Structure formats: C-alpha cells, structure tokens
Structure 1
Amino acid sequence: MTLIAIKDASLTRTEQLFAGLSFSIAKGDRLGLVAANGRGKSSLLRILAGEDDATTGTVTRLRGLVVAVAPQDPPERLQSLSFYDAVRDALAPEVAETESWRVDVLLDDLAVEESTRGRAVHGLSGGWQRTMLLARAAVIEPDLLLLDEPTNHLDIGRIGVLKTFLAALPRDCAVVTASHDRAFLDDVTNRTLFLRPQESADFALPYSRAVQALEERDAARERRFENDMRKVKALRQQAAKLKNIGINSGSDLLVVKTKQLSERADKLEERARPAHLERSAGTIRLTNSGSHAKALVTISDTAITTPDGRLLFRIGPSWIENGDRVVLLGANGTGKTRLVERLRAALTGSDPDMRGATSLKLGYSDQALSQLDAFATPWEAVKRLSNLPDHLTRSQLASAGVGIDAQTAPLTRLSGGQRARLAMLLLRLAQPNFYLLDEPTNHLDIEGQDMLESELIEHGAACLLVSHDRAFVQAVATRIWVITGKRLAEVDDPAPVFEKLMSN
C-alpha cells in the first residue's frame, strides 16, 4: 500500500535543488536518500513530513498517515529539558499522562542508561542528542519514519544499536534515511534514491549495488548521447553538401531534402541528453610535505589515563612510519580521544613517552572542527595560515565550496559540509607531513569522503585516524590499532572488530 506519493515535484531556493521528481513510498519500504551536501535532502524530508512545500508538483498522503522526522539538531525549546522529558514531550499530552511507559520501553530498546536519561539536552554529546531525536520520532509509532543523518556523531557501538533498532521496527513501518554513511545505508536500506537537479534515480537496491547500477546507467546514457551527436554531425554535413549541390543545380527537390535533413538533426539534438555530471560541493585536497625520517612518531611503553589518573589502557612500544595510515578503533569510552589528545600535546610540546621526528609537521582536526573557532570568517582563516594573495585566497575558498558571499561572513553561517571542507583546506595550507584526524568524515558527503580517501592514499600521507565510518576505514587503513582489554593491540583485519563493536 502506498503511504505517500510525490509527482513531478521541484524545489527552488537560491538555486534549483531538484525538478521532475516522482517516486512513492510503500509500507515497509527502507529507502536511502543520497545527495551531495546542500542539494535538498533535508528539504525533501521536510516536504515528506508536511513541514514544507515543494515549489511545484503534488504530494499525496494516505489518509491518517502518521509521519515522524528525526532532524539533525534538537530545537532550542528542548535544550533545557532532560533526555527523558524531551522524548516524552513528543507524545500528545493525554497520551503522555497514561502511556509514558512507552518512553521507558523505547529507551531500553535504544540502550540509554538511566544516568543519561536525566541529563539536560544541552549537556549531551552530539551522539546522544541524535539518539534523543530518534527516540522522539519513534515514540509516536509512526507509519513513516524520516531520519536525517542519523549516524553523525555516533560511535560504532551506537551505530550497531541503531541498526538493530531499525531492524526491529514493525514490518509495515516505512523508513527513509538521508545519510552519507555508506556502510550503514547498505545495512538498513533496500532502495536508494539519488537526488539530482534533474532526473533523480531510484533503484530497488541498497547503496553499493545502487551506485553500480547508476554508474552503468549514466555510462549507457553517455554512450547514447555521443552516438546521437555523431548522427547530428553527419546529418548536418550531409545537409550542407546537398545545399551546395542544390544551389549550383537549381534543384528544388534537393532544397527540400536539405531542409528535411536539417530538421531531423535539430530534433535529434534537442532530444539528446548528456549523462548527469554532479556539480561538486567543493574539492578536498591534501598534501604530504615529506620527511627524511623513517619513524615520524615513536611511542614507548606507557599508560593512557583519564584526567583524574584512572587507567584506560596501556600501549607498548609503537611507531608510525612514513606512509602509514593507522586507524584507531575501540568502544566508546575506552580512551581513543585521550590517546589523540596526548599525542597532539606531545607533538606540539614534550612527552618522555611520545616523540615526533624533528622533521615532523603536524596537521590536526577534531570531530567538532574546533580548530576553526579561532577564526571569525573563512577569509581570515586562510589569510592567517597562508601568504596567499587576495585573488588566490578567493579561488582556494571557492574551490573548497565556500562561495564569494560566504567568504567574509561569520564562520557560524557555514553548513557542516562547508566547515569540514574548509578544515581540510586549512590542513593543506599548513603543509603537514603527519595528520592526526578525529572523525574526519563527519559532515562530509559521499563525494567528499571519496575525495579525502583518494588524497590520503595518493599522497602517501602518514596519519593516525579515529573513525567510525566503516567504509572509510576499509578504504584507507594500512594498519589497525584496537583498544581491547585495557591494552592497545594491532590487528590485520578491521571487519571482526567492527562486528564485535556493533554487537556489544
């Protein structure tokens, strides 16, 4: 049964985000929504939820349809409420009075600890805020559940909880997931809608297989377009030849034939459509300034502890060499961030147990992109970190997806994707030879993730990465460090580690 149908919809803001969009959602559908940053995913979710209107087209909903959306960020009015009360707030007052037990059952299913339930929303981590927003949407038991980037800020364990939770939803409940997490989309969807300015593509396949189908379709369309254009060229050449013969001979028949050939060429050229070319949301480029030292980072046998001295884990003699791309994995709270913080402090100061080569030049980015907080505008950030003249500063920012109007505007106005691309630009301008990156794919769309993967691999960049993005880790890692049993161990294959972390 169809729950909602979109027909010939378009949406225009400052530019056209999509047009001619037609698709439907049936009971039990698990639809993945894929597009680059700023291309209309969140807007389409709001249209599906009835919170916004398309510029043109129709939206038809099943009578009595209950739709719930889990947005990316909590509204301001929830900030002072506790986690529990923010979820309970989603229920109608009369339901909340008699059926608040539904909140308790739901939070148990989502493995939310009692201590977390009483904390104020404004004091929660980004991951717990995402969990709260999911719970608010799910507690009203919708027919259609809309999720906007649900895995952002979640560690692998929480992603596993979310995957299990979605699998346990009633079979009739449809779910639309807008996400840049490729592995998660493969896990939880059976359809994929690629949202495009024209001719969006809908495949009854999970993400990875849908990408292959889309690439094959685009390639076939490009071949057809090139063939059509060759025919157009041949028709025009034939028409021009007949025109000259007709003029010289005075033949009316050849003049008519020439006109017919020209009209056929015009119609064929009008119908011909090139394959879709995705307009980039901004390029990501890194660099590797190089080092003659074989070991860029050397770590002695030492303990990683909490600020109050509690042992998190021990790390034996370890090193990171030129070209090593080391990914650090572990459950939430095991000490990944503490190791990153200590290593950063050691490489910018002194630590008897952690040393960097004298030629090491550090490039650092954390998951909150807090390194950007030191700058008022993107323009200031680039000018302070480089000697680029004004015209090159404008060009570099534009290539990173920061338009002219946004370059001198407050940094707070940038989207998450723009902030992530700006952070990568600043890293490149610093010309490091060792990258310390904490969740670098947060806020990056799939195009951006692909670019970052390529840059790290092609430039042979040495780095230590913390990431919960399974597809990204599988693509870039040359070494895997795992925190387990209060020890740091090195393993060859991250897949069993992911499986264990997601099942815990």
Structure 2
Amino acid sequence: MTLINIRNLGVVRSTPLFSALNLVVSSGDRLGIVAANGRGKSTLLRCIAGTDEATTGDIVRARGLTTGYVEQNIPEAVMRMSLYEAVRAALPGDQADSESWRVDILLDDLAVDMALRARTLAQLSGGWQRLAMLARAWVLEPDLLLLDEPTNHLDLAGIAILEGWLASLSRDTPVVIASHDRAFLDAVTNRTLFLRTEQSPCYSLPYSRARAALDDADASDERRYISDMKTAKQLRQQAAKLNNIGINSGSDLLVLKTKQLKSRADKLEATARPAHQERSAGAIRLANQGTHAKVLVTLDDATVATPDSTVLFSTGKRFICQGDRIVLWGRNGTGKTRLIAMLKAAIENPQSSPSGIKVTPSLVLGYGDQALADLDDKDTPMSVLVGRFELGDQRARTLLAGAGINVDMQGKALGRLSGGQKARLGMLVLRLTNPNFYLLDEPTNHLDIDGQEALEAELLSHQASCMLVSHDRSFIRNVGNRFWQIDKRKLIEVDDPEAFFASQFAE
C-alpha cells in the first residue's frame, strides 16, 4: 500500500538541494536517506512530515496518514520536562490520563530504567535524549515514522536497543531514516535513497549493497560519457576532412555528408551527461609529523578513578607504540573518558603526569572530543585559526573554504555552523597542530559518510598513532589495529571487536 507519493519534488534554499525527486514510500519500507552534510536530508524529512514546504513538485499522502517525526533538535520546553512527562506530553490532552499506560509500555520496550524516567531531559545524556524523542514520536503509534540521525550520541548499547526496537515493529510499518551510520543502515533498512542535486537514485537494497550498485552505475555513466565524447570528436574530425574534400571537389554529396556528421556529433554532445560528481562538504586532512620513539606511552598499572576517588579500573602493564590505532571501548560509565583525560593531561604536562603513566617527551598531541568543547560557540572560524596559528588572513580564509566553511560563514559565530561544519573545523585545527599522536573521542559524530571515509583514509595513509573512542562499528572495523576493552574493572586487550559488538546486540 502506497502511503507517500513524491512527484517531481525540488527544494532550493540558498542553493539547490535536490530536484526532480520521484519516490514512493509503501507499507514495509525501511528507507535510508544518504547524502553529504547540508544536502537536504533533514529538509526532505520535514517536507514529508508537512513542517516544511518544497520549492517545486508535490507530496501526496494517503488519506488519514499519521506521522511520527524525530528531529535532531529538542525544543527547550521539552528539555525542562522529566523523561516520563516529555513522552506523556506527546499524547493529546484527552488521552494523557486515560492512556498513560502507553508511555510505560513504550519506555519498558526501550529499556529505560525507572530512575531515568524521573530525570529531566537536560540531566540526561544525549543518547537518552534521543531515545526519549523517539518515544515521543511513537507513543501514538503513527502510520509512518521519520528518524533524523537517530544514532547520534547513542553508545553501542543504545544503538542495540534502537535496532532491536525497530526490528520489533510490525513489518508493515514504514520507517524513513536519514543517517550517516553505515552499520546501522545496513542493519535496519531495505531500501536506500542517495539524495542528489539532480537524479537521486534509489535501490531496493540496504546501504552497503546499494552503495556498491551506485558506484557501478556511476562508473558505467562515466565510461559512457567518455565514449560518447570520443565518438563526437571523431565525427567532427571526419566531417572536417570531408568538408575540405567537398569544397575542393565541388561535391554536393560530400557537403551533405559533412552536415550529417556534424549533426550526429551535436546530438551526442547534447545528450551526453558526465557521471555524478559529489560536491565535497569540506576536505578532511590530517598531519603526522612522526617521532623516532617506538614506545609513545607506557601504562604501568595506572588506576583510573572518578573525581571522588572511586576506582573504575586498573590498566595493568600496557604500551602504546608508534603506528598503533587503539580502539578503547566499554559500557558507559566504565571510565573511557577518564582514561582519555588522564592521557591528555600526561602528554600536555609530563612533569605532573598521573601515577602509572609515562609519555615520551617528543609527543605532540592532537585531541578532539565529541562535544567539540575546544571550540567556543561565541568565536568565529577566522578567530579560531588566526588566534591559534601564525596564519595570514588570506591563508586562513583559503583553509576554511577548503574545510567547507564559505566566506559568508567565516566571520560568524561558531554556534551558527552546522554540526558537520564544526566537525570539519575541528579536524582542520588538529591538522594545523601537526601532532604525532591523536586522542579522538567519537570523531565521526556529525561527519557525513564521505567525511568518515576521508578521516579513515587520512589515519591509514599517514600511519597515524592514535587512541580512539567510538561507537561507529564501520569506523572501528576499518581503522583499528588494536582493541582495548574495559571489563570487570580491568583493561584487557582482545583480537578484534566482533565479540564485543555481539555482546552488546545479544542483550
């Protein structure tokens, strides 16, 4: 059954986002929408939800269709509510009392502890806030569910809950998901739309298989374009030769043949279309100045504890060596962030290094946290660069433009940048720091898939030494070469991440 019929839809804001989009959403569809940062995914979801208007085209909805929409941003008024009240408030006034049982059942399904339900959303982690917004959207069991970046801020346990909950929905319930999480898209979708400025292809396949089909189609289009342009060139060369012969011989037949060849060349050139070239949302490049030291950090039974001295775990004897790309994982609250903070402090101030941590003096740290706390929303991109590095204004502007921050945005407050732009600015700052060791906490947050792949390529091509905290399974699999797990108050090394992934998704 068709629920949504999108016909020739186009949206233009400051620039065209997409055009001539034709798409049908039917019962049972689990549709993933993939595009670079700022290319219209959220706009398309808002258009489907009816909260935004397209520039051209139509969206025809089934009669009586109800929609649940989970946006990225949380209204300030909702942030002040308890988690339970935030979900209950989504019920119409006449149902809030009589059908509050819906809230209890849904929060049970999403594995929300009773203690969390009483806390305000502002007191909860970003992951629980996301699940609360999902509950608000679903509490009335709409006919269609729209999810905008639903895995943002979720740890693996939260992603596992979300994947399991989506799998438990009726098979007829359509879900449309805009996401950059490749593993999540593979797990929960059966169709993939690649949103493009022109001609947005859609495949009845989950992300990875759809991406392979798209790459094949783009390669075929490029070969066809090159062949057509080569043929057109040959036709024009033949026409030029025949034209000369025809003029010299006075042959009307050769002159006619010349016109026919030129006409064929004109038609080929007019219909030939080059393969799609994705406009970059901003380059991601890293630096690695290298070091002669083989052992960069030594952990000698260091104790990781909370600020009130509650012991979380002990590291045992561990070494971080040049070329290591160590992925650190464990459940929330086990001490990942504390260990990262201790390593950061030891590298930045070796004289007061925490007990049990020894760093080589030649280390230059590149640090990035998921909240981008090093970037003040009141600063501007220009002030960040010229204030921290010896750069002229023109050089700074060129670097910012290369990172996807255009001239109009370079002098505006960072708070006005998108999450993707801020993430790319953070990566640019890391690059200019010219480190030889990276500490990266959720580095793929806010990065689109092209950005994630670029970051992976940079870490691998520079043979960067780093420790990573990430819940992005694809990123972990592609980048990590060592894996440390916090388990039962100990730091252990495991061969690969698959057992840990399985343990999170089996519960």
Q: Please give the range of the TM-score, normalised by the shorter of the 2 chains.
A: over 0.9
Query: 1:474 is matched with which residue?
Result: 477
Please state if 1:267 is matched with 2:267.
yes
C-alpha distance in 2, partners of 1:320/1:375? 36
Aligned partner (choices 452, 455, 467) of residue 452 of structure 1: 455
1:442 to 2:445 alignment: yes
- Alignment-derived partner of residue 251 in structure 1: 251
Residue 421 (structure 2) aligns with: 418
- Equivalent position SS for 1:499: helix
1:306 corresponds to 2:306:
yes
Segment of structure 1 superposing worse, 342-351 or 273-282? 342-351
Q: Secondary structure at the match of 2:8?
A: strand
In structure 1, the residue matched to 2:103 is 103
Q: Which amino acid aligns with 1:332?
A: N
Q: Deviations over 1:153-186 (max 9, x none)?
A: 0000000000000000122110011100000000
Look up the match of 1:493: 496
Assess if the C-alpha contact under 8 Å between 1:158 and 1:502 holds in 2: no
Shift of residue 375, structure 1, vs aligned partner: 6.5
Structure 2 counterpart of 1:167: 167
- Return 447-456 or 124-133, whichever deviates more: 124-133
SS of match in other structure, 2:97: helix
Which whole-Å CA distance do the structure 2 matches of 1:109 and 1:314 have between them? 35
What residue number does 1:342 align with? 342
Distance (whole Å) between structure 1 residues aligned to residue 105 and residue 253 of structure 2: 83
Give SS of 2:485's match: strand
Matched residue, 1:87: 87
Q: CA deviation at 1:388?
A: 1.8
**Would you say 1:361 and 2:364 are equivalent positions?**
yes
Deviation at 1:374, TM superposition (A): 7.9
Kept in 2: contact 1:326–1:464 (CA 8 A): yes
Q: Which residue of 1 aligns with 2:179?
A: 179
Counterpart position of 1:128: 128
| Secondary structure in 2 matching 1:68 | strand
**2:226 aligned partner, one-letter code:** E
Q: CA RMSD in A?
A: 1.1
The equivalent of 2:390 in structure 1 is 387
Asked if structure 2 preserves the Cα contact closer than 8 Å seen for 1:299 and 1:353, the reply is: yes
| Aligned residue number for residue 432 of structure 2 | 429
Q: Gaps (5+ residues) in structure 2?
A: none
2:283 match: secondary structure: coil
Structure 2 residue matching 1:97: 3-state secondary structure: coil
Q: Which amino acid aligns with 2:10?
A: S
**Aligned residue for 2:229?**
229
Is the 1:437–1:465 Cα contact (8 Å) retained in structure 2? yes
| Superposed CA offset, 1:182-202 (max 9, x none) | 000000011111001111110
* TM score, norm. by length of structure 1: 0.98
Q: Which runs of 5+ in 1 are unaligned?
A: none
| Structure 2 residue identity aligned to 1:428 | R
Identify if the C-alpha distance between structure 1 residues 375 and 47 changes in structure 2 by more than 3 Å, giving closer, same or farther: closer
**Paired residues of 1:5 and 1:23 also in contact (CA < 8 A):** yes
Alpha-carbon distance between aligned partners in 2 of 1:50 and 1:376, rounded to the nearest angstrom: 35
Match of 1:289 in 2: 289
Q: Is the 8 A contact 1:331 1:501 kept in 2?
A: no
Once residues 122 and 388 of structure 1 are traced to their aligned partners in structure 2, the CA distance between those partners, rounded to angstroms, is 39
Aligned length: 504
Instruction: Work out which of the residue numbers 389, 404, 411 in structure 1 matches 2:407.
Output: 404
* Residue identity opposite 2:43 in structure 1: S
1:264 deviation in Å?
1.4
**Structure 1: which amino acid aligns with 2:317?**
P
- Runs (4 or more) in structure 1 with deviation over 6 Å come to none
Residue 206 of structure 1 deviates from its aligned partner by 0.6
Asked if the contact 1:385/1:429 (under 8 Å) is kept, the reply is: no
Distance (whole Å) between structure 1 residues aligned to residue 453 and residue 176 of structure 2: 23
Contact 1:304 1:338 in 2 (8 A): yes
Letter in 1 for 2:302: T
TM-superposed deviation, 1:61: 0.7
Written as runs of structure 1 = structure 2, the 5 A alignment for 1:318-329 is: 318-329=318-329
Distance 2:43 2:167 in 1: 26
Q: Which moved more, 1:334-343 or 1:359-368?
A: 334-343
Q: Percent identity?
A: 58
- The 1:164/1:374 distance shift into structure 2, 3 A limit, reads closer
Q: TM-score, normalised by structure 2?
A: 0.98
Q: Which residue of 1 aligns with 2:43?
A: 43
1: distance between equivalents of 2:208 and 2:249?
61
